[in-house]
Amino acid sequence: MKQTVALIPAHNEVLTVRKVVDETIPHVDRVIVIDDGSTDGTLETLSGSGALVVHHKKNLGKGARLVEGFDLAFGQGADFVITLDADQQHNPTDIPLFLNRSKKHLDSIVLGDRSGAMAQMPATRRRGIKFGNFFISWACGRIIKDAQCGMRLYPASMWEKVDIPAKQTEGFKFETAILMYAAELNVLFEYVPIDARYEGYVLRPSHFDPFRDFLRLFGLVSYFLISRGFQPKGLLRSLGLIR
CATH number of the domain encompassing residue 99: 3.90.550.10
Q: What is the mean pLDDT of residues 213-230?
A: 93
pLDDT of residue 12 exceeding 90: yes
Residue 109 falls inside a structural domain: yes
Euclidean distance between CA atoms 192 and 189, whole angstroms:
10
Residue 94 is predicted with a pLDDT of 97
- pLDDT band at residue 202 using 50, 70 and 90 as cut-offs: low
Is residue 223 in some structural domain? no
Mean pLDDT of the 190-199 span = 86
Please say if the pLDDT value at position 160 is more than 60.
Answer: yes
From residue 170, give the alpha-carbon distance in Å to each of 165, 177, 213, 215: 10, 10, 10, 13
In a domain, 241, yes or no: no
Tell me the CA distances in angstroms from 227 to 82, 93, 219, 224, 231, one per residue in order: 30, 40, 12, 5, 9
- Domain for residue 233, yes or no? no
Q: What are phi and psi of 193, to 5 degrees?
A: -65, 130
Flag whether the pTM goes above 0.85. yes
Residues in the chain, total: 243
Give pLDDT tens digits for 94-141.
Answer: 999 999 999 999 999 999 999 888 777 777 778 888 889 999 999 999
The stretches of 60-94 forming alpha helices (DSSP H) are 62-75
For residue 97, what are the domain limits?
4-134+145-165+187-205
Residue 236 in any domain: the answer is no
How many CB atoms sit inside 10 A of residue 209's CB? 13
Dist CA 162 CA 107 (whole Å): 13
Q: Which amino acid is located at 173 in the chain?
A: K
pLDDT of residue 211: 66
Residue 11: the pLDDT is: 94
Question: Number of structural domains, the chain?
Answer: 1
* Domain assignment of residue 16, yes or no: yes
Residue 174 lies in a domain: no
The answer to whether 86 and 17 have CB atoms below 8 angstroms apart is: yes
The answer on pLDDT for 36 being more than 70 is: yes
Does 218 reside within a domain?
no
The whole-number pLDDT of residue 210 equals 64
- What pLDDT digit, counting tens, does each position of 65-94 carry? 999 999 999 999 999 999 999 999 999 999
